[in-house]
Homo-oligomer: A and B are copies of this chain.
Amino acid sequence: MKLKVYTDRMSQPSRAIIIFCKVNGIQFDEISIILSKRQQLSPEFKEINPLGKVPAIVDGRLKLFESHAILIYLASAFPSVLDHWYPNDLSKRAKIHSVMDWHHTNLRPGAAGYVMNTVLAPHLGLTLDPQAAAKAEKLLTQSLSTLETFWLKGNAKFLLGSNQPSIADLSLVCELMQLQVLEEKDRVRIFSPHKKVEEWIENTRKATMPQFDEVHKVLFNAKARFEKLREMRTVAKPGLQSKM
């Protein structure tokens, strides 16, 4: 039975899983679970993941969710995946776990919290929370500094001094890609002190092309849509805009 992958391509960990499968020649059926239609809460999907979150996979009798757990499982279970994605060497593997654990409590809440509270909330029927946005920006900025000065130290192209990408690079870069939907001034302010981070994102993109851009198409479309909406608001409220 072919691997089943349940995703919404608007979710960054979903995109990481799809890119990983495609780049590594893993055959799978992609089942779309549209979060904006609350399909993750349907009884059918709750059979797959009772906690109602994407991404999730079904491989034979195994039902699995949490994107890092999925990436580790796929890298271990599918022989077509090259060693650099999740090395057999215990020390290298340990460092990959370390940066992925760090991600959970630093980069992820920083990036996702900032995007939610500056752009996404109104599109999901929620209210923007400037206080939460400020808190998330602080965590995001700290996390980008830690990436720049610690996890990306030296001249290596990828995390942990490696010259080939691992599942950690893919997960963290997909997290940061969501910042594409920010207003340009915000995106520039946040990224400009972190040149190494920008290079690393580009290195990871290049190492996973053309799949990387293909899977991110939905994000680039959203970015264009949000920009158009912002322009329309600016035209509709010229007085307000001129005071800003």
Contact = CB atoms under 8 A, between A and B. Distances in A.
Interface of A: 50-51, 61-62, 64-70, 72-73, 76-77, 90-91, 93-95, 97-98, 100-102, 104-105, 108-109, 146, 150
A144 to B, nearest CB: 14
Which interface residue of A66, A76, A95, A100 has the most chain B CB atoms within 10 A?
A66
Contacts of A73: 90-91, 93-94, 97
A77 B90 CA distance: 7
Residue with the highest number of chain B CB atoms closer than 10 Å, among A65, A77, A94, A108: A94
Given A51-B150, A104-B104, A105-B104, A72 B91 contact: no
A69 B91 contact: no
A211 to B, nearest CB: 23
B150 A102 contact: no
A97 B69 contact: yes
Q: Indicate how many identical chains form the complex.
A: 2
A66 B102 contact: yes
B51 A101 contact: no
29 contacts: A51-B102, A51-B146, A51-B150, A61-B91, A62-B91, A62-B94, A64-B94, A65-B98, A66-B97, A66-B101, A66-B102, A67-B101, A68-B97, A69-B94, A69-B95, A69-B98, A69-B100, A69-B101, A70-B94, A72-B94, A72-B97, A73-B91, A73-B93, A73-B97, A77-B90, A104-B104, A105-B105, A105-B108, A105-B109
Contacts of A105: 104-105, 108-109
Contacts of A68: 97, 101
A40 to B, nearest CB: 15
A218 B65 CA distance: 36
Nearest to A104: B104
Contacts of A97: 66, 68-69, 72-73
A70 B187 CA distance: 35
A64 B98 contact: yes
What 3 pairs across the A-B complex have the smallest Cβ distances?
Answer: A69-B97, A104-B104, A66-B101
Contacts of A77: 90
B104 A101 contact: yes
A90 B76 contact: yes
A81 to B, nearest CB: 13
